[in-house]
Structure 1
């Protein structure tokens, strides 16, 4: 299991390097296939200069040709993605009982692999969408819309392999419910909620619903809790007013991962408060 977590972490470092490219080029409508070059001098970036985190440290945060500074955002995104991939893999393996020695059938193993891939994909788009939304206040369709197909396909096949469609059903309900809820919020207050937020809500609903009603409820609520606290904090320090536009995508994503990692546990605790009473 440790080996799988390490491999996931290394893969995350590599993916993180690519996410830096995506976060810059997609909003600028620049081809992802174009060769990477220094934005200051235009020199091509050699493969050894593009090793995640290590190259930035070796180059002391400067371009090898013109010595212009390279933003610390690049190694930070790479490192965060590596840690995120390792954590998601550990969580998925632990949730499947593999940390306690539980054995899985061949079909269950393949289903687990698909679920891990699905949540690693979600981790990747979570990071890149957060970066883009903070930079541009946009959530590009080119990233959000394909996520419906990716999540739907992976979870459908996983459900087919295990012969249990209940999680897939809740995922579908979660997608519809969250999309509709955000759609109505946007309709009630035009300009208060972006169209990208509505589309992202459906994707988040799939991932939370797959885990259960507790994850869905906690993840949906946490987004507004985090966003509300952040907005109030900005007003208290006079960095924003009541009509200041604040990107909500990052808070939706943070809320979603709260639901993923803690939603079911928090949901059971909340229900037990009433049952115990």
Structure 2
């Protein structure tokens, strides 16, 4: 188990430079093409972004080391929760992508389809293979049910509160439903509760420090992802 956690953390850490590229190129308003050049000087970064433009020094998004640390923590938590089971492949594949989605949504309030939708077939294939390999741990049927329930529920909420939730949140929560539903309905409930709880605490803190007003909206994606990771870390 300890070796698996260390290997998961190493995998997450190594994904940092690639996550930096994704965060930089996809942190654009909805409908705009991917970013390929620095917004200030127009220089195309050589290789993977290292946090700042080599031409003018502009910040190109979150630092690589911070993304590596975040992804390493997410992968380690996933490996610790799932253990040496074939399903861990799905969680290790999802953790770095969810890390990038959290950073992008926090920056530009957007959850790019190119990340969320492409992760669906990866998780479904990995969980299906895990189910066929070991039928005694986890349930693909429950994961699909949780995915559908959360997606439908959040779609209804998005229709009722279009300013607070968007279709990006609906697509994201379906992914999280797959991951939590595989483990059990208790994990699904814990992830949802922790997501709303952390979002509420963050909103209160932003209001108290006057970094946001009562009419401002905050991106919910990072808290959905944080709630999922906390549910994995805290729930036995």
TM-score interval (norm. to shorter): 0.7 to 0.9
Structure 2: gaps (5+ residues): none
Separation in 2, partners of 1:66, 1:230 = 36
Separation in 1, partners of 2:23, 2:52 = 20
CA displacement at 1:3 relative to structure 2: 4.5
Distance 1:45 1:10, change over 3 A: farther
Separation in 2, partners of 1:247, 1:44 = 28
Separation in 2, partners of 1:91, 1:84 = 11
Which residue in the other structure is 1:139 paired with? 111
Separation in 1, partners of 2:42, 2:17 = 20
Number of aligned positions between the proteins:
231
Which residue in the other structure is 1:155 paired with? 127
Residue 240 of structure 1: which of 206, 212, 224 is its match?
212
CA displacement at 1:70 relative to structure 2: 6.3
Which residue in the other structure is 2:231 paired with? 259
Higher relative contact order (CA 8 A, sep 6+): 2
Does 1:250 find its partner at 2:202?
no
Distance 1:152 1:66, change over 3 A: closer
CA displacement at 1:185 relative to structure 2: 0.8
Structure 1: gaps (5+ residues): 97-111, 266-277
Residue 160 of structure 2: which of 172, 175, 188 is its match?
188
Which residue in the other structure is 1:99 paired with? none
219-228 or 236-245: bigger deviation: 236-245
Separation in 1, partners of 2:76, 2:205 = 32
CA displacement at 1:44 relative to structure 2: 6.0
Residue 86 of structure 1: which of 76, 81, 84 is its match?
76
Which residue in the other structure is 2:66 paired with? 76
Which residue in the other structure is 1:30 paired with? 34
CA displacement at 1:69 relative to structure 2: 7.1
Which residue in the other structure is 1:121 paired with? 93
Separation in 2, partners of 1:131, 1:238 = 22
**What secondary structure, in the 3-state scheme, does the structure 2 residue paired with 1:18 have?**
helix
Is contact 2:78–2:232 with CA below 8 Å preserved after alignment?
no
Separation in 2, partners of 1:147, 1:239 = 33
Q: What TM-score, normalized by structure 1, do the two folds share?
A: 0.72
CA displacement at 1:147 relative to structure 2: 1.9
Separation in 1, partners of 2:201, 2:6 = 35
Is contact 2:74–2:229 with CA below 8 Å preserved after alignment?
no
Separation in 2, partners of 1:232, 1:44 = 38
| Two-structure CA RMSD over aligned residues (Å) | 3.0
Which residue in the other structure is 2:145 paired with? 173
Whose helix proportion is higher, 1 or 2? 1
